[in-house]
Structure 1
């Protein structure tokens, strides 16, 4: 029998620049405490924990949760690149839906260093080796940091195929700043104009510095329960996980020889289609979406991969204002990774936190009017993609 999974509590610490945050275990413990308090739940009733982070030694999850309680429960440490937080949520949801557990915590955190992402294990082959080989052939410029080459190259591929303008990516970044200005826990709350985005230093091709998300420290958590457990314990059960899918790369990632596929377009499309089919709800019914805008270029690609716009129609969606308040669907009402920040292990659970608050009507100045159905998209190169649909009951 499949049990209905609900999100009974969420928590998130304000994101900070590297060097300006508390240590990872303190951030993680605080996010967990907030989620428990939001649910009105004693940690002693939590049966399992899934804890995500990318940069850290093994068992960091235990280090963060032991101050909350040493109850002897399974603590599973999760690492799946930038989709780590939603991978922890995926495992928590599976445990609850299957009946293996009635109440689970999913926690994600990251304590990052300044600068571009890099590898810490240079004494062994990188998992990006097949990706790097194609990126080198299609984009070149090996002196540019890896993630910038990947997503800048994907933006250039979209421009080449559909005639997309660089200013469109700048409009996405400016929109993110307007949303973040309403979010008290976002890292960057200053609004920027399209002109300021375009005038910032060029990183590669159409991509400027303001089109890239910043390295960030932070933590977020969610309490995932069966609906029956939530009702029996008088916990909040207003938001349920309606459908969820996790995908990894297929041969098309490499065989297409296109940077859009290399950065996960097909993974996203497959996960989204699985979710729409399982939920019986299509993209036209969504009210709010938190998607993986690690770069402004990727937000545009993701509009199309999630079927929010037809292929090649992402630019028109931006021009029509259908990606913000007053438009068809509000994308990244939190400010997204571009403005809210991107602490890798926490991002998926920060997206979850935002959407739960939206569906409860608790998002204050950034509230999406009448939000009932929300979609989350979290992407990790190498690769994994998790798409989750939530419903307010």
Structure 2
């Protein structure tokens, strides 16, 4: 397998949906142009494009990249729910690692509706998460909240009952991530809230309040993924960040056995374990992490899935300050999905962009000290879990 590097990243500001413009082609153009400029290359250097999105039609990837040029390259359209952007990155890495290309674009975007995610776009078709929905209803009596909230509520209540985790510990995740986002000019929200303000904000689905939930968002992000030969030919060694471990996993037969697994904890655990093995690294080697905090509950669960602590100890980890500046890891320096925003198809590649800036020392006021290894975690219900480990290339 060949070594794989990211040499350019770009993203738009994530914004509240509902505005007629810019539409997704313009958002994609901005993100890809920034990534190409970062890498110092042009669009004709791109040999293939992998494009992740959820709420757009079948050839939206072509519509997006045609803004940059119509060069006849293969364009792969990918929908893996909220892990669509990371799935595009996974495909791009495979092409490079397998020697099938030297330079691939991974692009993600979303143009969303306001409010909670609703019914499927094609109601006549089977709902791809219907079995998970039924499982959630068996774990907890439905409250009438949007189904995604019901699923994470079930997982949060199970964690509280098993391990004594508190509503305050979940709220501390949101306090941290909103505080981090104040230093991120690309974040949808940049306001800082006290723990008391988060706990007293509108209750949307007990124990979650509004400020503990990621918003719907418009936005785009992109990465240029290349081979070692490409890095050398274009003299990009000073900015090349290597993907040293990556895994994409889906569900096993036990996916409906636990409220934790219906929200992807099982796929996350397996993806993390495989990515660590491939990178020959462990949680103790990671400096900075971008993880899928669609709700504050999921950040606590993901601490455990990634091996940052033992099962049941996620609440204690946030209490100890281990996941912010001055702690053992800086988790979600961007503000995470809760505060940076969550345009579904762009999220995984926005994580890639943030970690590349962190490892290159370009994150400004968000910079994690002496960051050399970063980990991204992205999950899509139904399910797909993607964990990617990045390392700063040796000088």
Aligned equivalents of 2:77 and 2:94: distance in 1? Answer: 16
TM-score normalized with structure 1 length: 0.98
1:250 to 245, 252, 275: 252
What's 1:371 paired with?
Answer: 371
**In terms of mean alpha carbon deviation, does 8-17 or 117-126 score higher?**
117-126
CA distance in 2, matches of 1:189, 1:72: 40
* Contact map agreement 1:183 1:335 (CA 8 A) in 2: yes
- Matched with 1:259 is 259
User: What is the distance in 2 between the residues matched to 1:306 and 1:253?
Assistant: 18
Q: Is the 8 A contact 1:136 1:142 kept in 2?
A: no
Match of 1:14 in 2: 13
In structure 1, the residue corresponding to 2:9 is in which secondary structure? strand
Aligned to 1:202: 203
Determine the structure 2 residue equivalent to 1:99. Answer: 99
SS, match of residue 255 in structure 2: helix
Q: Is the 2:231–2:240 contact (alpha carbons within 8 Å) kept by the matching residues of 1?
A: no
> After the TM superposition, which of the residue ranges 62-71 and 368-377 deviates more from structure 2?
62-71
CA contact (8 A) 1:170 1:197 kept: yes
SS at match of 2:300: helix
Q: What residue is the counterpart of 2:61 in the other structure?
A: 61
Question: CA offsets per residue over residues 268-321 of structure 1, 9 Å max, x none?
Answer: 110000011111110011100000000000000000010011111111111110
Aligned counterpart, 1:288: 288
Question: Whole-Å Cα distance in 2 between the matches of residues 114 and 139 of structure 1?
Answer: 27
Q: Given that residues 106 and 224 in structure 1 are in contact (C-alpha distance below 8 angstroms), is that contact kept between their aligned partners in structure 2?
A: yes
**Which whole-Å deviations, capped at 9, do the CAs of 1:135-167 have from their partners, x for residues lacking one?**
111122252101111111111110010000100
Unaligned stretches of 5+ residues in structure 2: none
What does residue 111 of structure 1 align with? 111
| TM-score when normalising by structure 2 | 0.97
Contact 1:153/1:205 (8 A) holds in 2: no
RMSD (Å), alpha carbons = 0.9
Once the 2 structures are TM-superposed, how far is the Cα of residue 50 of structure 1 from its aligned partner? 0.3
Q: Which runs of 5+ in 1 are unaligned?
A: none
- Residue 147 of structure 1 is matched in structure 2 by 148
Matched residues in 2 for 1:382 and 1:208: separation?
24
User: How many angstroms apart in 1 are the aligned matches of 2:149 and 2:130?
Assistant: 16
Q: Matched residues in 1 for 2:165 and 2:307: separation?
A: 18
SS at match of 1:253: coil
Alpha-carbon offset, residue 253 of structure 1: 1.1
Counterpart in the other structure of 2:86: 86
Q: 1:76 is matched with which residue? A: 76
Q: Which residue in 1 is equivalent to 2:126?
A: 125
Question: Residue 252 of structure 1 aligns to a residue in which SS?
Answer: coil
Superposed displacement of residue 238, structure 1: 2.7
| CA distance, structure 2, for counterparts of residue 58 and residue 120 of structure 1 | 12
Q: Please name the residue that 1:214 is paired with.
A: 215
CA deviation map 1:236-282 (0-9, x unaligned): 5531000100000111211x2x2111111111110000011111110
Q: Provide the C-alpha distance between the structure 2 equivalents of 1:352 and 1:215, rounded to a whole number of angstroms.
A: 20
Local SS of the residue matching 1:96: helix
CA distance in 2, matches of 1:347, 1:127: 21
Alpha-carbon distance, 1:230 to partner: 1.5
In structure 2, C-alpha distance between the alignment counterparts of 1:212 and 1:174, rounded to whole Å: 12
